[in-house]
Amino acid sequence: MKIHFLSNSLKTNSGFANVTKNLSYELRKLGHEVTMSGMQTSISPEYTYGIISYPIMSFVDEESQFKDNLMKVNPDVVIYVGEMYSDISQLIKVFPRTITYTPIEDLGIPYSIVHDLNSVVINGGKVIAQCSYGFNEMVRHDIQSTGYIYHGYNENVFKPLSNSEITSRYCFYSTEVGKESTDPRKLCGCYNCNVPLNEQLFCPKFKDETTLFCKYINNKWTEMNDLPIYRLKEEFTNKFVYLFVGQNHRLRKKIDRLLKAFSLLLDSKQMKDRLHLHLHTQPQSNTGINILTLLNKFGIQDNVSFSYNGWRSSGGSEEALCRLYNLSDVGVTASSSEGFGLPILESMVCGKPVIATDCTSMTELIGIDQPQTKTTNQRGLLAKIGDNDLISAEITRQLVDISDLSTKMKEIYTNKELRKKCSENCLEFVKPYTWNQIALKWDKLIREMK
């Protein structure tokens, strides 16, 4: 079948682009013909995944552009991956057989979005939530959702790694980011670098993937340019590492609360010598907060570091992220809401428990104790809600209790057996959620649309 995606450009550093990329790739493997209308698409319409992307330039009659793209490809089904807002609402009503895959991040859904999602169903399409929480919230607001489908993960990349695997080198051009920026076949004649490492390193085109690394040295923040990914292990030697992965964009992630909770942990020299918080995000952002200022305010500069490559989402390939997860001891977030939370799933795939706010999708991903049956399926710890944040008359977000988050961070540090049990539960939980298994659910849904 001909499937046309409407989503962020595959070259855009976002969760929506990540989902679109992986899902479209797996659907192609199942025999579907896949194209996309890429919002913010660059001039080049061809991607090395074999997906042809037709641009939709912002502020230039997006509806006409999308209709023109549809005429070019004549799809059987359109899949929209992204948030709901006024401009997009018009686009998803253009084509009758549209599947809308949208996150529900908050407690409450504006009436306009309820109306627009139900319009998709009335028009012959389907509405799919991204998690159980999102689906239940849709039901609560009388949205005619078909159900929910989780995001997936790349099982060929994300997995627990040994110390030697963490520090193993790989060619940047063999990563999905490298393939986006160039065609490895034109560069060095190959597309995937599968030769043995000792031969690979003799390749004249070999290039290590690197990151920008920022830490506090000699009373000032210092940026280290082009640090190879495998060298990050040296930075965390003899440290217990909490890892945050997310955007420094607006205020939803509540990074300020995470920093305050971490500062409460560092109440002794032993803790200061042992604990480290690494944030895979930009330390300063025009669309977020100045994290460096907060660190100076809390006096915890020596215990925090950053890695980042691109705007907002921090960049880097899946291979780089896998190594970051494996270098950490636990994942952590103080987010006030999540539509799904890919870093949570990816961290668990690497056997790392996660500490998060007890709300939205985070509650179901991390799991809870079940004392009544004397069993546990928890995959980390959930910090209780301390307050609410009213976003609008219809939307509320949950604010984590900073003291409880700090307590949970200390508990998982001091309880080795808890970490071990949570890690085992993580690895068991993630088994059904590889992208190839997730794609089979989408394949069934798509074929029902014809």
pLDDT, tens digit (0-9, with 9 covering 90-100), for 389-402: 999 888 999 999 99
Residues of the chain with pLDDT under 50: 370-374
Please indicate whether the domains covering 2-152+434-449 and 163-169+208-432 agree at the CATH topology level: yes
With beta carbons less than 8 A apart as the criterion, state whether 37 and 18 touch: no
Indicate the SS3 state at residue 434. Answer: strand
Query: CA 208, CA 259: separation in Å to the nearest integer?
Result: 32
Q: Tell me which amino acid residue 187 is.
A: L
CATH topology of domain 2-152+434-449: Rossmann fold (3.40.50)
Backbone Cα Rg of the chain: 22
Nearest to residue 228, comparing CAs of 200, 196, 195, 206? Answer: 206
| Torsion angle in degrees (nearest 10) through CA of 111, 116, 119, 125 | -130
pLDDT at 45: 54
DSSP state of 372: G
| Torsion angle in degrees (nearest 10) through CA of 265, 271, 272, 276 | -70
Contacts for 355 with CB less than 8 Å, ≥ 6 apart: 242, 330, 331, 332, 333, 380, 381, 382, 383, 405, 408, 409, 412
Nearest to residue 153, comparing CAs of 28, 247, 279, 19? Answer: 19
pLDDT at 171: 87
Query: CA 85, CA 53: separation in Å to the nearest integer?
Result: 22
Structure token pair of residue 414: 């001091």
pLDDT at 220: 96
Nearest to residue 317, comparing CAs of 179, 169, 438, 434? Answer: 179
Query: CA 27, CA 442: separation in Å to the nearest integer?
Result: 8
Q: What share of the chain is helix, strand, coil (3-state, %, to 5)?
A: 40, 20, 35
Taking the domains of the chain in order of start, what are their residue ranges?
Answer: 2-152+434-449, 163-169+208-432
With beta carbons less than 8 A apart as the criterion, state whether 45 and 53 touch: yes
Contacts for 123 with CB less than 8 Å, ≥ 6 apart: 93, 96, 98
pLDDT at 439: 98
pLDDT at 206: 87
pLDDT at 373: 45
CATH code linked to domain 163-169+208-432: 3.40.50.2000
With beta carbons less than 8 A apart as the criterion, state whether 400 and 334 touch: yes
Query: CA 10, CA 318: separation in Å to the nearest integer?
Result: 14
DSSP state of 212: E
Structure token pair of residue 228: 């190879």
DSSP state of 304: E
Nearest to residue 169, comparing CAs of 193, 187, 186, 204? Answer: 193
